[in-house]
Amino acid sequence: MAALLALGLPALVSAAPKVEEFSLSSTTFRNTRTVRVLLPPKYHEPAAAGTTYPACYFLDGRAAFDGPGWGLVKTATALWAAHKIPDVVFVGVDNGGSTRESTDPMVDRASEFLPEPDPSWTEEPRPTPRGKDHPDFLFKEVVPAVASRYRVNADAPICLAGDSYAAVAALYAAEQRPGRIQALLLESPPLHFGSLLADAQSLTAWPRRVYLGYGTAEGETPETQREMVTNARSLGNALSRQQGTVSKVLEVKGAAHGYDAWRARLKQALIFLLGSD
């Protein structure tokens, strides 16, 4: 209850939202992970039996649903209780570092998310970028698997969320699969390598709504902090020029690169992306 009050929302929770899980064996990445599903409170009520729901996918599923990560379950519960967002099926897709086969979680996570090498990763072992396969994994494996188990439309555009390297994967998916994503949540995407930023600046088919959040203290040195801000502002400027796309860019002075910052911004991000206003 205190968590709801801390969000500034009334403590009016009715039926508790239900979290379910299933295992997904990927032919793309040849590994097995957990997919977590947060169902809206009325999903299993008889009156909702014929209702089909939109879906919002978080690419770091364990961090979105468990522990001190995104805090998605608490935030979504509070927003539903306050009628700030519609009934949505939230899906958390565990990353490559959380698979049964992972031997180096940090490297395996980065390998799945990165479409190109990150030259700032200098220590060994280095990730082997497989992020160009991630859109196929998402839309040919994950989305159909969710649609086969829950009342979501496999062909409907989705909401997609990611942080850091997962935001890179989410942005890359938006660039490679125009029309498949209607709402995009990007937290602190590193844009200092590869063609990702240039491709974004030339992209003409953006999702309908895009939220970009970042802090001014992201990076280990003043130079890397300035680079993060400069690149994020460039992406924000590209978004502002897109007709048919409504964007919200939030630059937070002093905010660092991590879940404390992303969790603090989640409430307003979901309201912006999913709310009716």
DSSP state of 127: P
3 state DSSP class of 195? coil
Q: What is the mean pLDDT of the chain?
A: 92
Closest CA to 125 of 108, 138, 144, 149: 108
Identify how many contiguous H helices and E strands the chain contains and give both numbers. Answer: 10, 8
Query: Tens digits of per-residue pLDDT, 73-129?
Result: 999 999 999 999 999 999 999 999 999 999 999 999 999 999 999 999 999 999 999
Higher-pLDDT residue of 195 and 9 is 195
Cα 268 from Cα 264, distance rounded (Å) = 9
Tokens 């490297």 correspond to what residue?
107
Kindly give the pairing relationship between strand 31-39 and strand 89-93.
antiparallel
Task: Reply yes or no on whether the pLDDT at 6 is more than 70.
Answer: no
Q: What is the mean pLDDT of residues 11-40?
A: 86
pLDDT band per the 50, 70, 90 thresholds, residue 10: very low
pLDDT band per the 50, 70, 90 thresholds, residue 18: confident
Task: Reply yes or no on whether the pLDDT at 277 is more than 60.
Answer: no
Q: Show the domains of the chain with their CATH numbers.
A: 2-274 (3.40.50.1820)
Residue 263: its H or E element: helix 259-274
pTM of structure: 0.92
Task: Name the phi and psi angles at 108, rounded to 5.
Answer: -65, -35
Under 8 Å between Cβ of 246 and 205: no
